[in-house]
Amino acid sequence: MTPILAASIYWHLPVLLVVVSLVYSATRHDSWPAIRREAVRWGWRMTSFLGGIALVMYLLSLYL
Amino acid sequence: MSHLPSQKLDPFAALLSYLLPGLGQIYQGRRSKGVLFMVSLHVLFFYGMWLGNFRNVYLPHTDTRQNVVFTSTILADVENRLHFAGQFFIGVAAWPALIQYASDPKVDKHPILGTWQRAPRPDELNALQRNGDKRWDLGWVYTVIAGVLNILVIYDALAGPAVRDATSELERKAVAT
């Protein structure tokens, strides 16, 4: 593991993603299968959004 | 959806969920959801505090002369540290900050709480922000998100889930009777 990965504050993000997905989904539904489905959906959405931003910034840092 | 009876508001459960996230749901018999809220939101809140060396939840006494909205009372200080407006909604877990705010600002420690959720001195705050790797800032963001998420939890206790599912409601009623 490179030092930059070892020291990154982004390692703390999974906690936030899991909690936000689960809690938000549980406030939308009462049944566990629906909560799980919604949580996975939101988890993916947020991860893709953040990953997309990270990718754009990485590409910008390569070419600017 | 239209055949479901209208949801009765439950302000007492909402109050319980404010005090301890998920307690209102447990009171209503939605135990597993209540436990999920209680564990998840407290984990997020205290994880955020840990990221900030347990020094990022507080309400300081500030100079309120240039405030735009509030110029006196506690709200003026909240206006100058809006983070606390979010953190407050985690419930009892953020009350030590209010106790610290109400205590003598000239002493360094509260006789019982010590420095727990006490506003850091300016030099201490500078050191926390300058010497860290932004973990202190990330930490307060987590605590604010935990508090804001609890507003959704309070609403869930007050008025039920946003999407009402006939099957789970009937199952719950059958268990209750």
The mean pLDDT of B123-129, rounded to a whole number, is 91
Q: Bridge partners of B110?
A: B114
Check pLDDT > 90 for residue B7.
no
Which structural domain range is residue A51 located in?
Answer: 10-63
More confident residue, B133 or B47: B47
Q: Tell me, yes or no, whether A5 lies in a domain.
A: no
Tell me the chain B residues in contact with residue A22 when contact means C-beta distances shorter than 8 Å. Answer: 36, 40
Q: A18, A27, A28, A32: which to substitute to probe chain B, counting the most B Cβ within 10 Å?
A: A27
Write phi, then psi, for B73 (nearest 5 degrees): 70, 180
The mean pLDDT of B114-120, rounded to a whole number, is 95
Q: What letter does residue B65 receive in the DSSP assignment?
A: T
Q: How many domains does chain A have?
A: 1
pLDDT per position as a tens digit, A15-60: 999 999 999 999 999 999 999 999 999 999 999 999 999 999 999 9
ipTM of the complex: 0.87
Tell me the chain A residues in contact with residue B160 when contact means C-beta distances shorter than 8 Å. Answer: 30
Check pLDDT > 70 for residue B169.
no
Tokens of B44: 């997020």
pLDDT per position as a tens digit, B95-114: 999 999 999 888 889 999 99
pLDDT (0 to 100) of residue A61: 92
Quickly list DSSP for A6-52.
HH-GGGGHHHHHHHHHHHHHHHH-SSHHHHHHHHHHHHHHHHHHHHH
How does residue B174 score in pLDDT terms, banded at 50, 70 and 90?
A: low
B135 touches chain A (CB under 8 A): yes
Q: Under a CB-based contact definition with an 8 Å cutoff, are residues B55 and B120 in contact?
A: yes
Q: Tell me, yes or no, whether A25 lies in a domain.
A: yes
Q: Tell me, yes or no, whether A59 lies in a domain.
A: yes
pLDDT (0 to 100) of residue B133: 81
